[in-house]
Structures are given as structure tokens and as C-alpha cells.
Amino acid sequence: MKSIGIVTSGGDAPGMNAVMWAAVKAARFRNMKIYGVMNGYQGLIDNEIVELNDRNIEGIIDRGGTRLGTARCAAMMTEEGQHAAVRNMYDHGIEGLLVAGGDGSFRGARDLARLGVPVVCVPATIDNDLGYTDYCIGFDTACNTAVDAISKIRDTMMSHNRVAVVEVMGRHCGDIALTVGMVGGADYILVPEVEYDKPFDIDNVVDRLTKNREYGNKSAMVVLAEGVMYEHKNRAELLGQMILERMPQLDLKVNILGHVQRGGCPSARDRRYALQMTERAVQMLHHGDTGRVVGIKDSAVIDMPLDEALAIKKVLNESFFRLAHALGQAI
């Protein structure tokens, strides 16, 4: 291929700009033209497509968010929208598309591939919820942000002998909660995957907090993913109330970390994986090796067919799960 496009889609993730940076550099290295699609698939449908050069990427490798913009785009779910996207690509002479995003964005890419568009996908979503890859760009930065916040919350909780309930992101996937709960020294970690297997039982949480007191601890930390009790809008508050109904003597504070987890300068790990995976993706587009995804397995870059990747179910990291248990952190 001599001319490719890049789109960032779905929720933004720190490291998406590093993907854009690497795509422009890798395309130029191969004398390929590269076009940026603005605002996710919406920009593809609305024909918001610009040719990229070094000026567009100067100083962005360490910036959070995505300079290209992103959007949730309902029109991409329609045949009409998809045909408009294909038409606009071909009008610009774009022969193939690099898609950076999560599983929804990959499904959009699959629809384009079915219409004959050569695509290669790079996983970029803070939730880390794609089953075929060990790692998605943005996850490390989001965890670092949440761990930093949890440490600060612990400082003040300990000073006042308080209990904290902290909600982190992760609608279907507990990777952020499990990771930050573990390394943040949480006493109880609640993830949606466990809730799917057995109904959430408040008595287990209360039992753990009671034992925690008996062991001599004056404060405690409960970390929950937003996917736990997801049907309740104020799930963290609800969990706090449920604990207080059973342990009214506690001084308990609820903290919802929210969108702070999406922003910020991408970590070295996120940038390194962004550069590695994007360079591979551009190389694959150049060779016409498309309809595939790039990912990370055992720290190495891999690629596989898009259909196969989407069929792999994401499961909770079993060894982390066992480690948390062995360290007395209830899940």
C-alpha cells in the first residue's frame, strides 16, 4: 500500500497519541502517505479526513487523550454509514485503515473489512478488556493514576482511622480494580467477573472488615470496579450504605475516581507498546497483510485474524487472582 488512514475510536486512552505519532513516522519510513480521520468513525462518515505530516505529531508522543479526537458513532452501526465511510476513504485514495480502540471499534473495523476495506487493529482501551491480547494501550497509565489516588486516600483514611470505598473504572472487566486493589494494598477487591459467577454478598465484605479490625488495623480500603452492581447508578454509595447498616460504628468515606483515570501523560509502558504495535500494524498494511489485529503475548508483539481475536473471551488474570488471595486480599 502507498496510502493509509488512521482512526482512534471508542473511549479515549492515554497512548493513543503515541499510536498516531508512530503511525506517521512508520508510514514516512516506507514512503507511504497517511491520513488522519477526525473524531472516530464519525469523521470517516462525515469526511473529516486530513493528510498528516510531522507538524501534526510534533510534541504529542507524551500527551494524554487523542489529538485526532474520538466519538461513539451510532451511524457506523448502519449499512448506510458504513458505505459512506468506505466511499470517503476511496475518494481520498486511502487503501487501508489502522484502527486504534477497543472491542466495539474492532467490530466496526470488521464491518468495514466485510465491505472490502483492508484493516489492521491496535488495542487501545484503559479497561484492558480484549481477550486475545495480554495488554491494551492506556491500561498502565490508568492503573498508575488510580494507584496514586488510592495512596493519597489511604494517607487521610489512616490519619482519621477511617474506611474507604473506592470505585475505579471497568464496566465488564475487573483488570483495573484487581491491579490497583492489589498493589494499592486493598483489603477487599470487588470485580464484575466474580459477581457473574456468584451473587455479590455483603456479608463477605463485612466479615473481612471485622477480621481486619481484629488483626489490629484501624483503617481499611475496599476497591470496587464500576461493573459491580452496575444496575445501580450510585453503586459505590450503595456499597458504603450496606456496610454502614451492618457496621454503624465505622467512619466510612466513598470515593469515585471517575474520568481522571482516562487522562494524563501516557506511561513509558503504554508508549513502548504503542510504538511496537503501531509499527507492526503499519508494516502489515504496507504488505497488504490485513483483516488482522496486533497484540501483546508474553511481552512480545503478535498478530492474528480479526475474527479470531473477537471470538476470544476476556477472562480475569488467574495468577493475579491467586496472588491476591495468598496475600489475604479478599476478592
Per CB under 6 A, which region of 4-12, 56-64, 113-121, 284-292 contacts ligand ATP? 4-12
Q: Select from 5, 6, 8, 11 the one that contacts ligand ATP (CB under 6 A).
A: 11
187 binds ligand ATP (CB under 6 A): no
108 binds ligand ATP (CB under 6 A): yes
Per CB under 6 A, which region of 8-16, 58-66, 202-210, 287-295 contacts ligand ATP? 8-16
Quick note: the x/- pattern for ligand ATP over 271-310, rule CB under 6 A, is ----------------------------------------
Shortest separation between residue 27's beta carbon and ligand ATP, angstroms: 23
Q: Which of 302, 299, 306 is nearest to 99 (CA)?
A: 306
Q: What angle do CA 35, 38, 40 make, to 5 degrees?
A: 110
Shortest separation between residue 16's beta carbon and ligand ATP, angstroms: 10
Per CB under 6 A, which region of 95-103, 195-203, 278-286, 309-317 contacts ligand ATP? 95-103
Phi, psi of 82, deg, nearest 5 = -65, -40
Contact 40, 87 (CB under 8 A): no
Hey, which residues does 308 pair with through a beta bridge? none
Shortest separation between residue 207's beta carbon and ligand ATP, angstroms: 34
Q: Select from 1, 88, 95, 111 the one that contacts ligand ATP (CB under 6 A).
A: 111
Q: Select from 50, 53, 77, 93 the one that contacts ligand ATP (CB under 6 A).
A: 77
Q: Select from 25, 28, 30, 107 the one that contacts ligand ATP (CB under 6 A).
A: 107
Contact 101, 136 (CB under 8 A): no
Q: Select from 46, 95, 127, 193 the one that contacts ligand ATP (CB under 6 A).
A: 127
Q: What angle do CA 156, 158, 163 make, to 5 degrees?
A: 90
226 binds ligand ATP (CB under 6 A): no
Per CB under 6 A, which region of 6-14, 141-149, 174-182, 275-283 contacts ligand ATP? 6-14
* Residues classed as catalytic: 127
Q: Hey, what amino acid is at 189?
A: I
Shortest separation between residue 77's beta carbon and ligand ATP, angstroms: 5
Span 18-47, contacts to ligand ATP by CB under 6 A: 41
Instruction: Quote the CA–CA distance of 93 and 185 in Å, as a whole number.
Output: 53
Q: Select from 34, 57, 73, 117 the one that contacts ligand ATP (CB under 6 A).
A: 73
Pairing between strand 96-101 and 300-305?
unpaired
Within a 13 Å sphere around the CA of 297, how many CA atoms are in the beta-carbon half? 9
Give 163's DSSP letter.
E
HEC profile of 223-250: EEECCCCCCCCCHHHHHHHHHHHHCCCC
187 to 31, 226, 318: CA distances (angstroms): 54, 17, 19
Q: Which of 314, 85, 306 is nearest to 192 (CA)?
A: 314
Site residues for ligand ATP per CB under 6 A: 9-11, 41, 72-73, 76-77, 101-105, 107-108, 111, 125, 127
